[in-house]
Structure 1
Amino acid sequence: MIAYKGIHHVSLVVRDLERSVAFYKKVLGLQEIERPPFDFKGAWLAIADGGQQLHLIVHEGQTLRDGAIDSRDGHFAIRVGSYKDTRAWLDEQGIAYDARPHAKAGFPQIYILDPDHNIIELNADFCDE
């Protein structure tokens, strides 16, 4: 049996590193952290204080999507403190989203796209709207 401690990081492929770093820092409030000197462009960002990270990797291959928000496509989820405040922040930032306050999952969900159409789910413990 494997004794898990949690998710360390999620890696996403991006086309324009500077644009993506700006999005994750400005829209989601993640903090850029030190990254080893790999032989390819990328950036690491911290998600909260628990050691979880998002790794952005520049890649020009066919792994990138161009479609709209599709919650059944590959994505990662970040738990937020307030569903209502998150929606208000996304509105203020002009970010399009798919809001599901009474999702079948049993907790409210918001789906957004980053600049490279990577899907991000923001969810909360309960709907505070």
Structure 2
Amino acid sequence: MKENLENPLRLTSLNHVSLVCRSLEKSIDFYTNVLGFVPVRRPNSFNFDGAWLFSYGIGIHLLQSEDPEHMMKKSKIDPKDNHISFQCEIMAVVEKKLKEMGIECMRQMVEEGGIHVDQLFFHDPDGFMIEICNCDNIPIVPLSGEAVRSCSQVNLQKKMQHQQQQIQVVQP
């Protein structure tokens, strides 16, 4: 069987992000009223409290903590922390709405080749980091053929060999 190096597990999309929360009600309120998710049916066979929400092609699965008093809560906004990111149309509108809702956020800007990306970082009720950005301003450019810090040289060589094989198949 020929190895598929670009998608070895044949993944098709992100399905959901699962988050443990102190208060299921507060988290449902946040994800529906701040981020625009919609509650959807959750299987009755689960023997623990939770909620499923859906929007933007992904699900958020909220799980009620069994020990909410001992959950660590992050208060410092740190863009280098674990987070999920959502694309938006108009950053100024998002920032204004967050301020109106009393949600503390941190603004950052990334620049690459004269292209600017604005980012807003803030926490959900349990301190999980959320990013809102206009990241589609930066084109996605494959690193094909370039050594990347996160890739081993062996994987890089396999990828290059695979690409060469694909080119040979296409050429008559």
TM-score by length of 2: 0.65
Question: Separation in 1 of the partners of 2:72 and 2:17?
Answer: 15
1:12 aligns to 2:22 (yes or no):
no
2:125 to 112, 115, 123: 115
Question: Separation in 2 of the partners of 1:121 and 1:22?
Answer: 18
For 2:19, what is the secondary structure of its paired residue?
strand
Question: Separation in 1 of the partners of 2:55 and 2:104?
Answer: 22
For 1:85, what is the secondary structure of its paired residue?
helix
Contact preservation (8 Å) 1:12, 1:56: yes
| Alignment: residue pair count | 123
1:1-129 matched pairs, under 5 angstroms = 1-37=8-44, 38-48=46-56, 50=57, 52-59=58-65, 60=67, 64-100=72-108, 102-104=109-111, 107-124=117-134, 125-126=136-137
Give the C-alpha shift of residue 89 in structure 1.
1.3
Q: Deviations over 1:28-81 (max 9, x none)?
A: 111111111211111111122x2x111111112766433311111211111122
**Amino acid of the residue matched to residue 40 of structure 1?**
F
Contact preservation (8 Å) 1:13, 1:63: no
Question: Separation in 2 of the partners of 1:4 and 1:66?
Answer: 32
**Amino acid of the residue matched to residue 50 of structure 2?**
G
RMSD, aligned CA:
1.9
Give the C-alpha shift of residue 5 in structure 1.
1.4
Instruction: Specify every segment of 5 or more residues in structure 1 that has no aligned partner in the other structure, as ranges.
Output: none
Identity %: 33
**Amino acid of the residue matched to residue 123 of structure 2?**
L
Give the C-alpha shift of residue 107 in structure 1.
2.2
Larger RCO: Structure 1 or Structure 2 (Cα < 8 Å, ≥ 6 residues apart)?
Answer: 1
For 1:78, what is the secondary structure of its paired residue?
strand
TM-score by length of 1: 0.84
Contact preservation (8 Å) 2:22, 2:71: no
For 1:108, what is the secondary structure of its paired residue?
strand
Q: Larger Rg: 1 or 2?
A: 2
> As a proportion of its length, which structure holds more helix?
2
Question: Separation in 1 of the partners of 2:12 and 2:28?
Answer: 27
